[in-house]
Structure 1
Amino acid sequence: MRWNPVFRREMTVGSRSIRMMAILFVFNSILAAVALFNMYSVAEQVRTTAEIQYSQFLDLYTFVSSIEFIMLLFIMPALTASSISGERERQTLELMLTTTMEPRDMVLGKLASSLVTMLVLAVSALPVQALVFVYGGVTLQDIGMLFLCHGVVAILTGSIGIFYSSVLRRSTVSTVCSYVTVVALTAGTMAVNLFAYRMALRAADSYASNLNASEMASSGILRYLFLFNPAVSFYNVINGQAGSGDMRKWFEPLFGVFPDNAITAHWTACSLILQCMLAMVLIAAAVWAITPGKWNRHGKNKGNDNR
């Protein structure tokens, strides 16, 4: 089995970096401090009231999972947005492309190295998450589903960063565009649906009572934009494990009536599949963008430049 040369190089350099060790130390120190404080508060409550609030352990699980999600959402684009453009700025991209290495190997190697970095952080948080097993409430299947959700989020946000890194010349510009896209997928889809719901409420008020209007109005087909929203996917997973399990209680007051159909019945599966498909499209576009002879950074065919 031949290892991806870019992946092997990135792993060798990253394993020797003190930055990774510092990130692991700070990240796990914060989680451990929160876990100890949570256990201490439970013990103090037992001494005072002789009651144990088991929901506090689920709150700890939710907190740790949310921290990991936020980390993936905002750190992955930063790791990948400068991967290809950084090579271009160091004037090593063209040199790498003249070797026998395929552009696909370069893109996948850069992305895989960033994914492994995030995987190390996620695995290092397992001992804190496992505290909830002491009193139950979360199963190994729940942990597996959470890891699957985090994995899809990491692949999607990482592919966004590496796409802009391949298309744009400067790392600063690609980083900004990556974060703008992530914000558009999360907060942007919510803003669009909220605006559409408010407009639907105004239209319904013109021919129905206020009570009936709130029951009839919705954001319409725009609600399916949430399928591409990683924050909604994560909320749906974590709410099913440590919450009510019904996302409508949160959706309908903000975005109107949510219909019963095959998509809403299998919302998590549909959203994760669509997000993986979007990531695959972005990765393919990144490979195409750095392939010699197809498209250079000025939007011209390289064959025309050699004339």
Structure 2
Amino acid sequence: MVRLQNPVLKKELKLRFRSFKSFSAIIFYLLTLLVFTVGFFLVVTDFKGKGFIGPEMNVVLFTMLTFVQLSLVLFMTPGLTAGAISTEREKQTLNILLTTSQTSWQIIFGKLTSSISYLLLLLLAGMPISSVVFLFGGISPSDFVLTYAYMIVILIALASIGILMSTLIRKTIVAMITTYGIMLFLTVMTAFFVFVTLSVQTGFDGSELGGQKPFSYFFMAINPLIHMASVIYPEVSESALTVTSMDLPLWVTHISFYVIITVLCLWIATKNIRVNMK
């Protein structure tokens, strides 16, 4: 039992959940979801406060809330994790932390878990607002659970990237900018590469060339926005497989890619947190 204890995690959880900044971020998160939800109802009802919302419009509401939450998670995760180790280094407390009996993995795990716990609290706090979609039909509980499950996968992977950048880069601001750059690459540049690769593999007369398109498929699979759209609208996934002539479902490549990224980032961060004395 002593081995399972993690003082770094306990300390980080106490500091994070006792600060006013953390609870103000939760309030901002909930207010953002509330504004989008109320705004959607007002627009649909022509600002009269009464009307009919069918299952089709409810799917639109669910899509909007899902992408709003995904966007908030994508932009908040680097800010919470990219300074986990570099801040300790700037405060000159990292060397003291490394001289304790805590292993490198316990330090990395404690920093990572505290950030992930806070982000999971945000998702959990937003569930009552998101669950309003069950009042109007068109959304199954499995769709609701799957969207949150995939958000957690992206959250953990991006948090691991932030921990890695915080370990490798000495300055917190540089580590944060680098993590945001990787996040923008995964969300924006991969979508651009999908367009480019599909255009390259199109004939001069505009007709589609035969054969598989593995690069287009790969960029579609690792893009969080495209993959989340395929979760809500299964026809998006079917269209992607048809266009790229691939048989492997998008979610298999998506999960495999981000699990590998998570494991690789945490392994490199654990190996590089201590000075190489050789």
**TM-score (structure 2 length as normaliser):** 0.89
How far apart in 2 are the matches of 1:221 and 1:10?
Answer: 42
Does the aligned pair in 2 maintain the 1:64–1:129 contact within 8 Å? yes
Deviation of 1:80 after TM superposition, in Å, equals 0.7
Match of 1:299? none
Could you give the per-residue CA deviations for residues 266-286 of structure 1, whole angstroms, max 9, x where no partner exists?
A: 211331122111111011111
Match of 2:221? 227
Specify whether residues 57 and 89 from structure 1 end up closer, same or farther in structure 2 by C-alpha distance, changes over 3 A only.
same
RMSD: 2.5
Deviation of 1:225 after TM superposition, in Å, equals 3.2
- Identity among equivalent positions (%) equals 23
Paired residues in the alignment total 275
Does the aligned pair in 2 maintain the 1:197–1:217 contact within 8 Å? no
Deviation of 1:79 after TM superposition, in Å, equals 0.9
Could you give the per-residue CA deviations for residues 241-287 of structure 1, whole angstroms, max 9, x where no partner exists?
A: xxxx33354x59xxx932141x1xx2113311221111110111111
Specify whether residues 287 and 221 from structure 1 end up closer, same or farther in structure 2 by C-alpha distance, changes over 3 A only.
same
Deviation of 1:175 after TM superposition, in Å, equals 1.0
Matched, 1:237 2:231: yes
How far apart in 1 are the matches of 2:61 and 2:219?
Answer: 30
Could you give the per-residue CA deviations for residues 62-95 of structure 1, whole angstroms, max 9, x where no partner exists?
A: 1111111111112111111110011011111111
Deviation of 1:178 after TM superposition, in Å, equals 1.0
How far apart in 1 are the matches of 2:72 and 2:38?
Answer: 21
Match of 1:259? 245
How far apart in 2 are the matches of 1:199 and 1:40?
Answer: 44
Deviation of 1:230 after TM superposition, in Å, equals 2.3
Could you give the per-residue CA deviations for residues 137-163 of structure 1, whole angstroms, max 9, x where no partner exists?
A: 222222221111011110111111111
Does the aligned pair in 1 maintain the 2:112–2:160 contact within 8 Å? yes
Deviation of 1:46 after TM superposition, in Å, equals 9.4
Could you say which structure has the larger radius of gyration?
A: 1
Deviation of 1:198 after TM superposition, in Å, equals 2.6
Match of 2:236? 246
Matched, 1:290 2:264: no
Does the aligned pair in 1 maintain the 2:229–2:236 contact within 8 Å? no
Deviation of 1:44 after TM superposition, in Å, equals 5.7
* Unaligned runs of at least 5 residues, structure 2: none
Match of 1:82? 83
Specify whether residues 259 and 40 from structure 1 end up closer, same or farther in structure 2 by C-alpha distance, changes over 3 A only.
same
Specify whether residues 215 and 199 from structure 1 end up closer, same or farther in structure 2 by C-alpha distance, changes over 3 A only.
closer
How far apart in 2 are the matches of 1:232 and 1:218?
Answer: 22
More moved, 226-235 vs 88-97: 226-235
| 1:110-259 → structure 2 map (5 Å cutoff) | 110-201=111-202, 204-205=203-204, 210=205, 213-216=206-209, 220-223=213-216, 224-240=218-234, 245-249=235-239, 251=240, 257-259=243-245
Counterpart AA for 2:34: A
**TM-score (structure 1 length as normaliser):** 0.81
